[in-house]
Amino acid sequence: MSTLLVSQSNYADHATPHGHPERADRLHAVEEALARPRFDKLIRREAPSGDLMLTELVHDARYMARLRDARPAEGIGQLDPDTFVSANSLAAISTGLGGALAALAAVLLGEVDNAFCAIRPPGHHAEIATPMGFCLINTVAIAAREAQRKYGAERIAIIDFDVHHGNGTQDIFKSDPSVFYASSHQMPLFPGTGAASETGVGNIVNAPLDPHTDGEAMREAYLTRIIPALNDFSPDLILLSAGFDADGRDPLAQLNWNSADYGWLTGKLMDVADRRCGNRIVSLLEGGYDLKGLAGGVSHHVAMLMDGAIGRLDE
């Protein structure tokens, strides 16, 4: 496999208060993990700026105006108890979006097989009209719409393995049968959505997991629910909301996955991509707040994307 790594040079421009779990150190930990010799064959690019007007593909027409109004001239402003916008946050979300769209183009034009985007802040909680849950814009949702609008991909699948349910992505696509959304997540947990009964127009599959369960419960959920439904949908492209906060060390949740679980899951999704959509996968970083857990999960995820095998990984 040829795998593109898109990284975001201005990741620290989105500032959060001291002690906030969604911090610039997260991407530093990812960069260090992917700098090891195991990852020398990655194709590496810095994310360009993206056009924030594209937010109107998934958010309402006043969405960006509200973010600009909330942005302080200096320092950090607060959108809700958990979500912050700083003076330079819009530059950071622009390169996050630009990175996702650069990866999308490279995959859909056949330059690479798949891609991982090391970007922040996360996006899957941002709803049609409301930023929330550390998220300012829903980057994966914009990428899905751009794949349809610009590249003619008709059927897009979004698989979300962040420990928190992607309420924003579900909110955006729940009435659109051309986009399949599946999520495994802890329940109960923020944001409180993601019950198995939430099925949209038949395009939503939620697999809630009980607190303190481990990779075995995750495997069962994917093998019995998510992967069969994904195969039936037969996507033209698979997008991943790649959160690494189901790791047992993460401070914001109580699932007990380990780094190897992310490798197993990535391999299963690659099997579907091989059968259904010419290996086309674009993975976007979402959560993951324990730095060691994040680095380990990303390492196994990207190693599997590269060649379908973990090989030797020193955690």
Bridge partners (DSSP) of residue 114 are 3, 281
From CA 4, how far away is CA 6, in angstroms rounded? Answer: 6
> Does the annotation mark 125 as catalytic?
yes
Sequence-distant (6+) residues with CB within 8 A of 169 are 124, 138, 140, 141, 158, 160, 181, 183, 241
SS3 238: strand
Instruction: Calculate the alpha carbon distances from 218 to 50, 91, 212, 269 in Å.
Output: 34, 36, 11, 13
281, exposed or middle or buried, with CB in 10 Å at 0-12, 13-18, 19+? buried
Sequence-distant (6+) residues with CB within 8 A of 186 are 163, 164, 208, 209, 210, 211, 246, 253, 254, 255
Contact 137, 123 (CB under 8 A): yes
Secondary structure (DSSP) of 83-135: -EEETTHHHHHHHHHHHHHHHHHHHHTTS-SEEEEE-SS--TT--SS--BTTB
Q: Which of the residues 14, 124, 125, 301 is marked catalytic?
A: 125
Active-site amino acid positions: 125
